[in-house]
Structures are given as C-alpha cells and as structure tokens.
Chain A
C-alpha cells in the first residue's frame, strides 16, 4: 500500500518536474522574440541570373548598423546599411555607388504609402508623378546591376520614421553608428537565398464554341483574345502590376463574361469560336505565349482569324494604340483597324496604328502579338503605350500600383474591344448598332472590373514564385470556367535563360544597441562600487586595521615554518 502510494507520489512529482522543465525551455526560447525597438516587413530586391550573368542583390541576411544619407563624408560604410527614403533619393548618388562598386553593408529604400495597396488608397499626393518616375528609374537601375549586398524595400510608417530621424540626428553630430559608439542595428536573420528549382509558367485557356450550322463540316473560324497575367519588378513580393498587366487581365475576364452571356443563348451565338488566353512568362519575351501557340495543332492555328492582345489599358485618357507586325496595307489589318476606328469614333476615343516589323533572328519579343506573327497568325496588341518597351521594362514593377490605374479607362477599353469584336462576329460592320449599350443587360459592369482590379493589385504575380496550384491561378481558372465551355491549363518550365533565387520578403528587426565602451565603462564603475562597498563594510564592522591586514601577509607564520 505504502509502496504504491510512494510510486504514485513519485510519478506525480515527475510529471510536475517535466512541466517545470518544459516551462523553463519555453522561457529560454522566448529570449529572442519580441525584443526589438521596431520590427517591420521588408521586401528584397530580386536576384536572378540571365544567360549566366548575375543581376540583382546577391545577399539576403543583414546584420549591420544603420546610417542615413547625412553621413559624414569619408565615413566607412562597408559595415553600415544606408536607409534612403524615396522622397530624398538622389538617383545619381545611388548610380555612382553601384557603378563604382563602392563597398556598402546594405541598402534600405523607404517607399511612400501611395505605392502600397492597404494604405495608399485614395490619398492625394502632390508629387505623385515625380515619385512614380523616380521609382521607375531606380527600379531599372537596380534590376540591371549586380549588387553584392542586400537591398530591401519597406513602406514608411511611424516607427521607422522616428528611427530614421534619430539616426539622422546622430549622423549630423558626427557620430555614425559603429560597434564602439552605439546606435541602431538592423538585423534580418534569413538563410542564404537558394535557386528556385524549375520555375513553372502556367497558361490558362478558355474556349467558347460558336454556332455550327447544321450540315456544316468546316471548322468555324476562331478569334483569340489574349492577355499575359504575370509581372516582373524590382521587389517580387511587391510586383502587383496593376496596369501592366492587371488591366489586361481584368478586361479579358469582362469580355469573356459579356460574350458568355451572348453565347449562352443559341439564338445569339455567333459563328465564330472564341479563344481566351491568359498567358504567363510575359516579361521574358512572351515565352509562355510562344509555348502555348506551339502546343496548338495545325488546324486550330490555321482557323484563327485574328488575335487581339491586351496590354496596359488602365491609365489612358483619350488615345489608344494598336500595334501590328503586318504592314497596314494588308487587308486583314485594314479590316481590324477600321472596325476599331468606327467604334472608337462613336466613343470619342482616338485609335492610332503602329507598325513594327518583326525580326525572326532577334530573340527579343517586345509585344505579345509578335509571337502570333512569328507563326503567321494575324494579331494586334491594344495598348496605351505607343513605344515598344525594353526587356524587363514596363512589366509591372514597384511604381505600378493601384493608385495609378483608372477603372473608367478599363471600362471604356472593354467596351471598345467587345463592340468591335461583336460587330465583326455578327456582321454589323459599319452599322451604328450598340450591342453592349450602357444600362442594358449586356452593359459593361464597372463593379466587376473594380473588384478584380483590386484583387490583382494585391497579388504579386512573378511567375517563378507562382506554383502550379497557386490559389490565384486557380481563381483565374475558375473564373474562366464560369464564362467559357472548356478550360485547359498548360504547365511549362521557364526556359533556362533565366534563373531566379528565393527569399523575397523578410522581417527586419531594429535594435538600439549600446557600444562596447559603454559596457566596459559600466563594468569599471560597478567594480569600483563593489570595492568601495567592501572597504566601507569592513571598516565599519571590523575596523580599519582589519582592512589593512587583508593586504599584508601575516609575518608570524613565515617565522614559525622557518
């Protein structure tokens, strides 16, 4: 009886011991958490290799002191992180630093709120355009440079503003932060960035069948409407590309919805098949579009009458451009352009035609319709931009945020394209018939456009970081499934020219540290305090003689042993 009681007692004690030990471990583990003066989310500059050359920021982990732009000239910044707010950015200064490969511990750029989706909503900032252009320039500089230290972007908020003000004050009095003088330390504890293995690009296509007359064995002609949905920017975690090409995707979805309404009733179904394509790999010479077209069988490709590619139609006022590769004298091109011009005139929009010949030997594909033209399919790109962008330019970077996109522009663009297509399909060219009239059941729905635009402006869509089953890709597929008869997904691997590295966002901890000299000084002070206390206590309780005797060896002992 006593034994079992004892063992029960022992077990009880053991359990409480375990819980105490567990508590101690938890306590010890909590040391590193919730320790910093401030902790903010930061987004890393993209790191990629193109054709073997390294670009972007090659490091991710950060553990250095902070410095501001007011650092004393001649200070050594190789172990300091420069914090630069965008408003105070001097682009020539940064360009000099990067091109001359001056040593630096790291760079942290602070972006104003207007470029963030959550906070930038509807604020009116005076220098919006200036900031946008400055940011675009900075982005191009950073993307094409090989930077051997971490570069991060963050949004301004109160915490970091106070920290920066403090740092500026310290720098102004000539005391930049180093190990011996104290100050602020920026720490980002991430592991080394690794290559993204086999980045996938996913093309989604939706097929809307036209009405085949009885006894008609020929393949119906097809019209393709295409938009690329992925982006590329300086900070992949922030590349939402509202205009490039969020506006194109939204327009495509709305056009699909309108035509699915028309095609749902056999009486209003047109004699054309409609093929909707959401392609990926846009920034990389429209690689995805090429693979998508190559996957078509010959008959399908030949049945495509023409393709309209939508790109950047979100921030225009009154002028749009149609870019083609075939010469304007070509009959098909004339037909397309006239169709668009007629509708445009009615809507008070000016549409211009831009012709640029394609060069098959040049791998650079500036606009999506060129991929179609390389395979002898008539195609045109509708865009607000009149010039052809360079590689990795205008692909939805940091500056391309929701603030700068206008839903009305997209609505008008959708109406223009839908009306022109419908007139071609139903044979009403030249006639003044409004199929998608405002206020009718087929009117363009601005709420639909706005909600999809908002979603796109919150979703970074850099292709290597979108997995096959990414929720956003699935959402696009579902939406197309709702509007079309048949949806297919094509998964490809992004070609070997580009290699990407992960670690796109992290959490920055800002610590206020004391210098080594401070600690040494404190040790000295405490040591002398304890010594003084010791002597005081000895003197008051035992007498001064005792204190002195502590330091003198008693001579009598030596005599005894001798």
Chain B
C-alpha cells in the first residue's frame, strides 16, 4: 500500500512533464534531444551553485531568516539564469522553431529539477508506513515549478533570441524575468521569515506560476505579432 502512495506521488511529480511532452507538438518534432541537453546543463548549473553556496554561506544555528544570507542565496540563484542562457543560446539545436525551443529547454530544465530535488525524498519517505501530506504538496510544487521554468525559458528566449522587440515591452519583459528568477528566494522568505506553513506556500507558488505563465504568454504573442 505504501508503494501505492509512492506511485501516486511519483505520477503527480513527474507525470505532467511526460504529458506536456506528448500533448504538445514537441513530440511531433522529436525535441527529446534538446530536453536532455537542457537537463544536463541544469545538472552542471546545480553543481556550480552547490560549490558557490558551500564556500560563501555559513551554517546558522536557528532556522530564522537572515537577510544577508538570503541576499547571497538570491545572487547565487542568478547562476540559474546564466545556465538557462547557456542552454538556450550556446547549445546547438536542430532546426526547431523558437516557439518549440524554449518549451523543450524549459521542460528539460524542470524535469531535471524535479528529479534532483524530489526523487530522493520521495523514494526514502513515501514508501514508509507513516502518512504525511508532504509528498503530495511536493508534487504540486513540482507542477508549479514546471510552469515557472517554461515561462522563464519563454522570457529568456524573448530576451536573448529575439532581435526585434517592441520597445515598450522590453522593461516589462525584464521585470517579469527578474521576478520569476527570484521565485526561490521569495518562497524561502515566506517560509522562514513570515513563517508560512507548507500548504500555504504551495498554493502561493501555484498561483504565481499560473499568473506568470499567463503574462509571459501574452508578452510572447505580443512580440510575435510584428514578425
């Protein structure tokens, strides 16, 4: 029965990625290679971030919110953005339209994130007899993360791959990208600084990810109109 629970949480955490790949035209154009490459770039980025965090951060005794530490963590979080830039621009992709490129990169990015951060706790924790809501909430978080990654990839492709953008929209694009990139810091501030409990944080993440996705969709279609 507890393997059952593990199976449930696993399909909640990883199912949407597979569904996204098969439902959208990504599967038709066989963009699996791009996603895999993006996943590998994510692993590399995660390693670099780990090393930076280990050298810069000091271990604090209390679980409170230390603004200086959080600021450092946010700055290191921008390494994520750099990694995404690398994945979008530097890797050689086959001839796929920009539309699909950012989706594939975002998908691979989110999948690698889920596997790295959520598979091990799931395997160790969800198979035991004891029941907690944590793993279901973690799965919902993975869903929100998928949406956020794809919107970040979309904004990233707008910023770096598209040459002609309407002038008025540029600052909006950059602010949205900034917000999405600092999402991890915002959630950790909510959890530690304000003391929100896990379900509330997950609801917040889902809400913001959907709204960010909507905004970036609008921006993307707005940028696409002139060309």
Contacts and interface: CB of A to CB of B under 8 A. Distances in A.
Contacts of A542: 24-25
A187 B128 CA distance: 12
Given A514-B5, A519-B8, A534 B128 contact: no
A166 to B, nearest CB: 13
A104 interface: no
A36 B23 contact: no
Contacts of B125: 35
Given A514-B5, A533-B19, A541 B24 contact: yes
A537 B1 CA distance: 32
A526 B130 contact: no
A513 B130 contact: yes
A536 to B, nearest CB: 8
A171 B38 CA distance: 53
Nearest to B28: A542
Most chain-B Cβ atoms within 10 A of its Cβ — which of A511, A536, A538, A541? A541
Most chain-A Cβ atoms within 10 A of its Cβ — which of B4, B123, B130? B130
A506 to B, nearest CB: 17
Nearest to A520: B4
A31 interface: yes
A37 B130 contact: yes
B198 interface: no
B127 A31 contact: yes
B92 interface: no
A315 to B, nearest CB: 45
A530 B14 CA distance: 11
Contacts of B20: 533, 537
Given A35-B130, A522-B8, A526-B8, A516 B1 contact: yes
A541 B25 contact: yes
A20 interface: no
Interface residues of A, number: 30
Contacts of B128: 31-32, 35, 511
Contacts of A173: none
A519 B5 contact: yes
Given A530-B11, A530-B19, A541-B24, A519 B129 contact: no
Contacts of B24: 537-538, 541-542
A541 B124 CA distance: 37
A522 B131 contact: no
A508 to B, nearest CB: 13
A147 B202 CA distance: 50
Interface string A507-544: 00001111010010011001001100111111001100
A521 to B, nearest CB: 10
Contacts of B4: 516, 519, 523
Interface residues of B, number: 25
Contact of A534 (B19, B130, B131, B136): B19
Given A522-B8, A541-B24, A35 B129 contact: yes
A523 B22 CA distance: 21
A79 B130 CA distance: 19
B184 interface: no
B15 interface: yes
B16 interface: yes
A185 interface: yes
A523 B124 CA distance: 20
B120 interface: yes
Nearest to A511: B129
A533 B23 CA distance: 9
A30 interface: yes
Most chain-A Cβ atoms within 10 A of its Cβ — which of B22, B23, B130? B23
A27 interface: yes
A530 B15 contact: yes
A537 B130 contact: no
Given A519-B5, A519-B8, A514 B15 contact: no
Contacts of B127: 31
A124 to B, nearest CB: 38
B12 interface: yes
Contacts of B19: 530, 533-534, 537
Nearest to B20: A537
Nearest to B22: A534
B16 A526 contact: no
A185 B15 CA distance: 31
A530 B127 CA distance: 22
A523 B16 contact: no
B16 A530 contact: yes
Contacts of A529: 12
B129 A522 contact: no
B129 A526 contact: no
Contacts of B8: 519, 522-523, 526
Contact of B124 (A30, A185, A538): A30
A403 to B, nearest CB: 36
B5 A526 contact: no
Nearest to A27: B124
A535 B24 CA distance: 10
B120 A27 contact: yes
Nearest to A182: B131
Given A519-B4, A526-B15, A512 B25 contact: no
Nearest to B2: A513
Interface string A3-39: 0000000000000000000000001101110011100
Nearest to A30: B124
A383 to B, nearest CB: 51
B129 A187 contact: yes
Contact of B12 (A511, A526, A534): A526
A495 B91 CA distance: 84
Interface string B82-113: 00000000000000000000000000000000
Contact of A526 (B11, B23, B123, B131): B11
B124 A31 contact: yes
A519 B19 CA distance: 22
7 closest A-B pairs by beta carbon, nearest first, are: A537-B23, A35-B128, A511-B129, A514-B131, A541-B24, A511-B130, A519-B4
Given A32-B128, A535-B23, 11 more contacts: A31-B123, A36-B129, A187-B129, A511-B129, A513-B129, A519-B5, A522-B5, A522-B136, A529-B12, A537-B20, A541-B24
11 contacts: A28-B123, A30-B124, A35-B129, A37-B130, A185-B129, A512-B131, A516-B1, A516-B4, A526-B12, A534-B19, A537-B24
Interface of A: 27-28, 30-32, 35-37, 182, 185, 187, 511-514, 516, 519, 522-523, 526, 529-530, 533-538, 541-542
